[in-house]
Chain A
């Protein structure tokens, strides 16, 4: 009799235990896990352009400005994309075999991909980078010869692929959108070129080599022709001066690249050197070379700056971050320049086409 009640008691206990366990499982399923949800830390923001991309897709086709990054989802790049189609720029970067991995690589990883077409010009060919071999020697005294050969190469292979042809160094940082805005007011069939204008030696001035300069299609044609017909000298130890002299001879105009409120856009140094009062000593050559009155401090540089020079690899990425990523949310910039008339008409026309509500 006692064992039977014991057995009953045991089964009762078993039952209660199983009942408890089943019930708790049921509840946990019903209520869901209340764990600590760690946000996904995505350090990988894939953009349309990668360091490994060969850039073959840049001959034609759309630049994908709206990359996958969720930080850029509220970004409207219609105007930038429109200008990309309207103002085609071919960039060629002056580099050398020793600098492909040291410097040119970082150019390729940052601003180069925003050119409609980019070419890296070296004394010898490098199929992997890729870099064009100009079959010259290296060295400062070879710069002008390399420049002539580079422009020749561009003219022979890519003349019809672009409207404007920009030369930059492998330590120049260029903001292509701002260059397109500057050039959109001009006709590439006109003989004109732009850069940071210097005044000595050449009556109309000449453009600083390091800050980069950009030739119109007509200017390029005339430049290449000038060597075939011996109008311009083939040799010089000062690349930018020699090019400037040639431009004057062949009647290519030295343009004013300043923005609509007179601030310089092409810069021969990094932002710090221009922004900090007193950084460049008063005795420095720069103060006597500038074609327009030179300014130090905040007035030195346009909001829509086109280029900076002597930019080391770290600074390349820093500028890339400051220009294309970090921004002050909701801030109404002081300088709000208008789009050129023709572009404004096109953009509004494109909007009208897309929006079915607008008649």
Chain B
């Protein structure tokens, strides 16, 4: 009896030691993993009120100037009316905005990509931007001309995010086991992601110019595949309440859907107060958004923000 109980106890001790060893080893492995995948949760949120209050007055101006966003807008000749509207409206708030066109268009200044293929245009644009501006900008935003973007809200979203980390943000979609940022919501890359992307652009095995074998793969998926090889993973951008800040639809469409889905909470259920992008706008709607966002407001509502942005020079619609 005694020998049995002692062997039982010995067994228990051995089992526990074994378990402890395994747990320790497992933790060390996870620890390494943490350093490789800095952001393991795929839902990146904007900083909330408590974080903001910790920023001192002096830091605000400095902080605001520390975000340098370069805007890439991919256009084609058929987009001229949207192109004109985009040029006259929100892109004035980018630190620099350049239009990358499939071919030269009279009157509209652009960088000629000399190709009709969206993925090739995207690759060339990213390469051009990185080669020329790697030292001047720390965030790169890619958009389509049907989009309206609010740079100030993008910078607010990027508050406390280190651009030397590989960020790849926007409205994400899962396709099989690939999570990618939809080009329809706008794509944000940090300078680190740009660096890694550009190092792979020349390697056809990792980043081929012709992705799909049988049918074409959309350019945003191709980008995701390429970035994945470089250890850059897509993250969905949300505000402090979990609402998307990069939107693939227009405000009007959101409202219409809300009116049929939850008619008692239309505006509340619509979109984030800190939305960065909307898509599917007509040129006229761009001008209305410009007025609605940068000018029209209710008197007597004052905000204490952590950042300060001045209106751009020589502009009359903001």
Seen from chain A, the residues whose Cβ lies within 8 Å of a Cβ on chain B are 4, 7-9, 11-24, 27, 34, 36-47, 50-52, 65, 69-83, 109-110, 175-178, 180-181, 271-272, 275-276, 279, 297-299, 301, 303-305, 313-314, 317-335, 337
Give chain B residues whose Cβ lies under 8 Å from the Cβ of A70: 48-49, 240-241
Give chain B residues whose Cβ lies under 8 Å from the Cβ of A332: 308-311
Chain B min CB distance to A304 (Å): 5
What's the Cα separation between A113 and B227 when bound, in Å?
A: 50
Contact B301 A15 (CB under 8 A): no
Contact A272 B274 (CB under 8 A): no
Give chain A residues whose Cβ lies under 8 Å from the Cβ of B105: none
B264 at the interface (CB under 8 A from A): yes
Chain A min CB distance to B18 (Å): 6
Interface residue from A42, A82, A271 paired with B241 (Cβ < 8 Å):
A42
Contact B302 A14 (CB under 8 A): no
* Residues B261-299 near A (CB distance < 8 A): 262-275, 284-285, 287-289, 291-299
B165 at the interface (CB under 8 A from A): no
Beyond known contacts A12-B14, A13-B11, A327-B303: 19 more, CB 8 A cutoff: A15-B11, A15-B13, A17-B11, A20-B16, A34-B30, A42-B241, A65-B301, A76-B304, A81-B300, A177-B298, A177-B300, A178-B298, A272-B284, A279-B284, A321-B255, A326-B271, A329-B307, A329-B309, A334-B295
Interface residue from A34, A44, A181 paired with B265 (Cβ < 8 Å):
A44
B52 at the interface (CB under 8 A from A): yes
Contact B241 A71 (CB under 8 A): yes
16 CB-based A-B contacts, threshold 8 Å: A14-B8, A15-B15, A16-B11, A17-B11, A19-B11, A19-B14, A20-B15, A21-B15, A21-B19, A22-B12, A23-B16, A45-B268, A71-B272, A79-B301, A109-B266, A176-B298
Contact B41 A314 (CB under 8 A): no
Interface residue from B156, B271, B292, B317 paired with A329 (Cβ < 8 Å):
B156
Chain A min CB distance to B250 (Å): 9
Contact A317 B266 (CB under 8 A): yes
Stretch at the interface among B95-103, B147-155, B193-201: B147-155
B56 at the interface (CB under 8 A from A): no
Give chain B residues whose Cβ lies under 8 Å from the Cβ of A323: 292, 296-298
B306 at the interface (CB under 8 A from A): yes
Contact A330 B305 (CB under 8 A): yes
Give chain B residues whose Cβ lies under 8 Å from the Cβ of A12: 7-8, 10-11, 14
Seen from chain B, the residues whose Cβ lies within 8 Å of a Cβ on chain A are 3-5, 7-16, 18-20, 23, 30, 41, 43, 45, 48-49, 52, 64, 150-153, 155-156, 238-243, 251-252, 255-256, 258-259, 262-275, 284-285, 287-289, 291-311, 316-318
Contact A328 B153 (CB under 8 A): yes
Q: Closest residue to B289 on the A side, CB-wise?
A: A322
Give chain A residues whose Cβ lies under 8 Å from the Cβ of B304: 74, 76
Give the one of B13, B259, B267, B309 with max A CB within 10 A: B267
Known A-B contacts A27-B20, A79-B300, A177-B300; A19 and B12 likewise in contact (beta carbons under 8 Å): yes
Give chain B residues whose Cβ lies under 8 Å from the Cβ of A335: 295
Give chain B residues whose Cβ lies under 8 Å from the Cβ of A22: 12, 16
Contact B14 A16 (CB under 8 A): yes
Chain B min CB distance to A283 (Å): 20
Give chain B residues whose Cβ lies under 8 Å from the Cβ of A44: 265, 268-269
Q: Closest residue to B256 on the A side, CB-wise?
A: A314
Give the one of A38, A109, A322 with max B CB within 10 A: A322
Give chain A residues whose Cβ lies under 8 Å from the Cβ of B293: 322, 326-328
Chain B min CB distance to A114 (Å): 9
Interface residue from B11, B23, B64, B267 paired with A317 (Cβ < 8 Å):
B267
Contact B12 A40 (CB under 8 A): no
Give chain B residues whose Cβ lies under 8 Å from the Cβ of A45: 241, 265, 268-269
Known A-B contacts A42-B242, A75-B302; A330 and B308 likewise in contact (beta carbons under 8 Å): yes
What's the Cα separation between A79 and B301 when bound, in Å?
A: 7
Q: Closest residue to A81 on the B side, CB-wise?
A: B300
Known A-B contacts A20-B19, A40-B242, A301-B291; A317 and B301 likewise in contact (beta carbons under 8 Å): no
Known A-B contacts A20-B19, A44-B268; A331 and B309 likewise in contact (beta carbons under 8 Å): yes
Known A-B contacts A27-B23, A272-B284; A304 and B299 likewise in contact (beta carbons under 8 Å): yes
Chain A min CB distance to B201 (Å): 32
Contact A330 B23 (CB under 8 A): no
Give the one of B14, B48, B259, B298 with max A CB within 10 A: B298
Give chain B residues whose Cβ lies under 8 Å from the Cβ of A71: 239-241, 272-274
Give chain B residues whose Cβ lies under 8 Å from the Cβ of A317: 255, 258-259, 266-267, 270
